[in-house]
Copies of this chain bind each other. A is one copy, B any other.
Amino acid sequence: MAKDISEPINVPQAYLAKLLQPLVKENIVSSVRGPKGGFYMDDENLEKTVIDIIFVIDSEEKFSSCMLSLDKCNEENPCPLHNILVASRNDIFQQLKEKTIRELAHEVALGNAFLPL
């Protein structure tokens, strides 16, 4: 239930619920209403990645736009930070795109990562 997720991570329940709604709509999270209801992830959901979530909640631009917010900059006209940062940004993007929620959950199950849930 929203409450079970929101409380341990100190996010207001209503706000979490609002954030989850577009994820349900985009089939990244599943839900059932009523008693014994709540949010869950089915087999298909678990194959989604962190990037899938980011693209729904925020936007695709986070990983493609200039890190100095210069709108005329791109790979051909790189800003001074581009060359020193773009490799790391791409690494992060790749990691978030490759890693499925299932894999992340597995790490938690193995005790290699922790969640306050």
Contacts and interface: CB of A to CB of B under 8 A. Distances in A.
Contacts of A114: 73, 77-79
A108 to B, nearest CB: 6
A87 B103 CA distance: 19
A80 B108 contact: yes
Interface stretch (A22-30, A38-46, A56-64, A88-96): A88-96
Contacts of A83: 107, 112-113
Task: Give the number of times this chain occurs in the complex, counting copies.
Answer: 2
A57 B80 CA distance: 19
Interface size bucket, A side? Answer: 20 to 34
A72 interface: yes
Interface of A: 9-10, 50, 69-73, 77-85, 87-89, 91-92, 95-96, 99, 104-105, 107-108, 112-116
28 contacts: A9-B69, A9-B70, A10-B71, A70-B115, A78-B113, A79-B113, A79-B114, A80-B104, A80-B105, A80-B107, A80-B108, A80-B115, A81-B104, A82-B113, A83-B107, A83-B112, A83-B113, A84-B99, A85-B92, A85-B95, A85-B96, A87-B91, A88-B88, A88-B89, A88-B91, A88-B92, A88-B95, A91-B91
